[in-house]
Structure 1
Amino acid sequence: MGLTYFYSVFGILSVICFFLETTKTPEDKISTSSVFNSFKNNYIFVYCLMMAGDWLQGPYVYALYQYYNYDRGDIGRLFIAGFGSSMVFGTVVGSLADKHGRKAASITYCITYILSCFTKHSSKYGWLLLGRVLGGISTSLLFSAFESWLVSEHIKRGFEPNWLSVSFSKAIFLGNGLVAIFSGLLANTLVVDAGLGPVAPFDAAVCVLAIGMTIIAFTWTENYGDPSEGKNLIRQFATAAKLIAADEKIALLGAIQSLFESSMYTFIFLWTPALGSETKFGLEIPHGFVFATFMLASMIGSSLASRLLARPFLRVERYMQFVFLVASASLLLPTYAGYFDEHSNNVAAEIAADGISPGGRIQMAGFLIFEVCVGIFWPSMMKMRSDYVPEESRSTIMNFFRIPLNMFVCIVLYNVSVFPISSMFATCAALLVAAALLTRRLLVLSTTDKARSRIEQWRAEAKHQRVIAAELAI
């Protein structure tokens, strides 16, 4: 099978990423302290191990279910179990982190994900279903407990607030980028080159998660949101709901996150069959290598985000509205992929030479642009959450945000056999346009609030000056 196209794309993206990282000016960086750097490096190392445990599984989840001879409808139901579990059980477990500790929740993530990986050794649908339920709980913890621990610990240790963006951007660049690339390539090596089968990446994930859990247990201190003894889970949910209802900015942030991540998780499910539809002549897409290429595009996005976040006068909300629009346009490209195959003179020869059809190249272009937007989204959204989400209910509110996105993805996956893939991509594009509009609204509100607070501050200072003048006159 020819892989010329995939190698070429990977090489071009590598050059772009290297250029962005090596040409940063002082304006693109934030000066920090050695104490902070030590703290940051510990967190990033742990975060990278946690993400490696997740990324090792990513390229072969769908492929493993296919290996066990399940069709797209059966696989869709397994994914529904994962997202449904994240919506129901994950929300509860993740919210307990505020009361019982973020460190404890992080260790729980490792345990539940290790158990999920063990279930992949069985081809029985029931065991695979249990694995998806455990995986859904783990996902909620991964995207709430670790970030909540970092923000709380950062504040507790008295570091500068704007240094948080350094931790966010570096964690995404390495954990969601470089580590993901190596994880994808390692998974591909274990399955294809070593011939160990599609379960091997899940066994590798167990080892990585066990190492990370040990480091957390011995190097992290515990921190909490609101550990009040009389505050049970229902009261936690009620408090979080009141905070969201009382502040339109928090509600908007939750809606924006849900809209983008709904599109992202739908994309994660669809990219394998979407590219697979371009292999009409018995050829297979190299899942691990394509996954690594996606992550390289995400690294480019996080590198761009670090430059944007380093500029104190550039608001995150201002540039993110354009990022969402670009992401929307990128997911519309796959809807036109078939047109290019229909008008190509020799599709079979092009697939044999490059490993992908003309329509597949259009799809890949759209997917890569979308992944760049994903790379910008993560550190930027983390920064906005640190600005808007109250510390005492951080994990609870973050898991509240995940409820609508999990619900939407479950609906999409339940109907995956009914609608064509192009229609689902078009739906995701529409959601991203809505995210852009809500981001515009958030920008207007936050700008207005800041202007109002400045006016009130000026009035207070003027009043204080008048009081001083009056006392001096007496």
Structure 2
Amino acid sequence: MELFYYAVFGGLAAVVAALELSKTNKDRINTSTAFNSFKNNYLLVYSLMMAGDWLQGPYVYYLYTTYGFGKGEIGQLFIAGFGSSMLFGTIVGSLADKQGRKRACVTYCITYILSCITKHSPQYKVLMLGRILGGIATSLLFSAFESWLVAEHFKRGFDQQWLSLTFSKAIFLGNGLIAIISGLFGNLLVDTFSLGPVSPFDAAACFLAIGMAIILSSWSENYGDASENKDLLTQFKGAAVTIASDEKIALLGAIQSLFEGSMYTFVFLWTPALSPNDEDIPHGFIFATFMLASMLGSSIASRLLSRNSPKVESYMQIVFIISSASLLLPILTSFLVAPSKVKGGGISFSGCLQLLGFSTFEACVGIFWPSIMKMRSQYVPEEARSTIMNFFRIPLNMFVCIVLYNVDAFPITVMFGMCSIFLFVASILQRRLSAIADKPKTEDWAMMKDKDAEGEPLNVT
């Protein structure tokens, strides 16, 4: 079965290489030297930030077990992280609009470095503090950096279409290549050099410190609503009113929560799904395969976003349907393939089928990230961008906390079925968003025809 892992990884690598090497002028966006310099600076910082995040992920659970904590206590620590992101992270992230996005990005670095330092202590309370700090940092990572980028992009007068290029490259590097390299580097530190499970956290802190130095030396500050008269509660109310009064923003928030909630649930479920009888599976290699699939998705997204057709609102409907179908595989295989009752051994035939489906889902994840960033840049107002983006994460974090708390209460097939339903609902909401996104143009054309019928001159540009 080892040949199967290499075949999947090699096949994905070949497709990614072919896509990148076969790009034509239609797949590329002509930009300026000033923009390329700006883009490369952001990509360097974003890659360092993601390296700081990816280095920690594979070793958090393992580190807690080496300190002697059981599954229940570790579950509480994870819930604290997502709960912190939902409560404190929303407040801190929202301050970015008023206090400055650059400051928020620096705060992310400091907060996450402090979280890494707490991993040196085996004390439960110290580790809990680290999870709370990590939750705050996560909210800033997924709101402040994007908010700074969008505001700075338009402040410098760059073309809106060029933003798609930065988004797709950021996901290709940060959520693909950097994730793979971080996994291999962490494995090198822990297993090859025998530096212990805390060493990846120390390395993460170093990368975050380097990124912070670049931010402080090369980034300018930008704001959303910097009004002195608006307190935090007023900001929250304003963001809530904006979401409630604009159906496009509300739909976008619901779509994001449904997809990311399913994605984070998948992170917890793929290991028991592929090894239900304690089969010996190469977790690190499978993780690298998933990240390679995500790179494939971001490469596809870069081609789609560089063209005017199909529109992002249209093709994302198909992406959500494919992702929904891919997470149905654990349910289908449980009915169609006789389950193995042999403990241990290599991955089963059912596991091989599921691995292909999960890789397909990860490719959809790779398409999702730059595409949702593109839609947020179009629909979310600049003055409250960070606040609204953190509002979107409230139902997501609430959902993940509930799943974590009840992870042993339901069969794994039920959990995957729930995720599949959520993704299908996301496709329906995306269809609605696509329909109303074209409404203003239709209404404007109808008004023009009415003026023409009344004998008024038409102003067509």
- TM-score w.r.t. structure 1 length? 0.92
Instruction: Identify which of 283, 286, 291 aligns with 1:287.
Output: 283
**Structure 1 unaligned residues grouped into runs of 5+:** 469-474
The question of whether the paired residues in 2 share the 8 Å contact of 1:322 and 1:436 is answered with: yes
Q: Aligned pair in 2 of structure 1 residues 388, 463: CA closer, same or farther (>3 Å)?
A: farther
Instruction: Identify which of 359, 378, 384 aligns with 1:387.
Output: 378
Q: Distance in 2 between matches of 1:294 and 1:153?
A: 32
Does structure 1 residue 438 correspond to structure 2 residue 434? no
- 113-122 or 449-458, larger mean C-alpha shift: 449-458
Secondary structure of the residue that 1:322 maps to in structure 2? helix
Q: Percent of aligned positions with the same letter in both sequences?
A: 64
Paired residue for 2:149? 150
Paired residue for 1:449? 440
- 73-82 or 225-234, larger mean C-alpha shift: 73-82
Corresponding letter in the other structure for 1:53 = G
Paired residue for 1:310? 306
Paired residue for 1:115? 114
Paired residue for 1:205? 204
Paired residue for 1:170? 169
Displacement of 1:335 in angstroms is 3.1
- 13-22 or 2-11, larger mean C-alpha shift: 2-11
Displacement of 1:121 in angstroms is 2.0
- 189-198 or 103-112, larger mean C-alpha shift: 189-198
Displacement of 1:3 in angstroms is 4.0
Paired residue for 1:299? 295
- 59-68 or 442-451, larger mean C-alpha shift: 59-68
Displacement of 1:274 in angstroms is 3.3
The question of whether the paired residues in 2 share the 8 Å contact of 1:344 and 1:358 is answered with: no
Q: Distance in 2 between matches of 1:307 and 1:27?
A: 8
Paired residue for 1:81? 80
Instruction: Identify which of 402, 407, 411 aligns with 2:398.
Output: 407
CA RMSD, 1 decimal: 2.2
Q: Distance in 2 between matches of 1:56 and 1:294?
A: 16
Displacement of 1:437 in angstroms is 0.6
Displacement of 1:317 in angstroms is 1.1
Q: Distance in 1 between matches of 2:426 and 2:63?
A: 33
Paired residue for 2:20? 21
Q: Deviations over 1:423-457 (max 9, x none)?
A: 21111111101101100111111122222134446
Paired residue for 1:472? none
Q: Aligned pair in 2 of structure 1 residues 184, 59: CA closer, same or farther (>3 Å)?
A: same
Paired residue for 2:366? 375
Corresponding letter in the other structure for 2:66 = Y
Secondary structure of the residue that 2:457 maps to in structure 1? helix
Q: Distance in 1 between matches of 2:68 and 2:5?
A: 27
The question of whether the paired residues in 1 share the 8 Å contact of 2:329 and 2:357 is answered with: yes
Q: Aligned pair in 2 of structure 1 residues 462, 303: CA closer, same or farther (>3 Å)?
A: farther
Q: Aligned pair in 2 of structure 1 residues 81, 467: CA closer, same or farther (>3 Å)?
A: closer
**Structure 2 unaligned residues grouped into runs of 5+:** none
Corresponding letter in the other structure for 1:431 = F
Q: Distance in 2 between matches of 1:420 and 1:228?
A: 51
Corresponding letter in the other structure for 1:232 = D
Corresponding letter in the other structure for 1:328 = S
Paired residue for 2:97? 98
Q: Aligned pair in 2 of structure 1 residues 425, 442: CA closer, same or farther (>3 Å)?
A: same
Displacement of 1:310 in angstroms is 1.1
Instruction: Identify which of 338, 342, 348 aligns with 1:357.
Output: 348
Q: Aligned pair in 2 of structure 1 residues 241, 18: CA closer, same or farther (>3 Å)?
A: same
Paired residue for 2:413? 422
Q: Aligned pair in 2 of structure 1 residues 16, 371: CA closer, same or farther (>3 Å)?
A: same
- TM-score w.r.t. structure 2 length? 0.94
Secondary structure of the residue that 2:356 maps to in structure 1? helix
How many correspondences in the alignment?
A: 459
Paired residue for 2:318? 322
- 198-207 or 146-155, larger mean C-alpha shift: 198-207
The question of whether the paired residues in 2 share the 8 Å contact of 1:278 and 1:360 is answered with: no
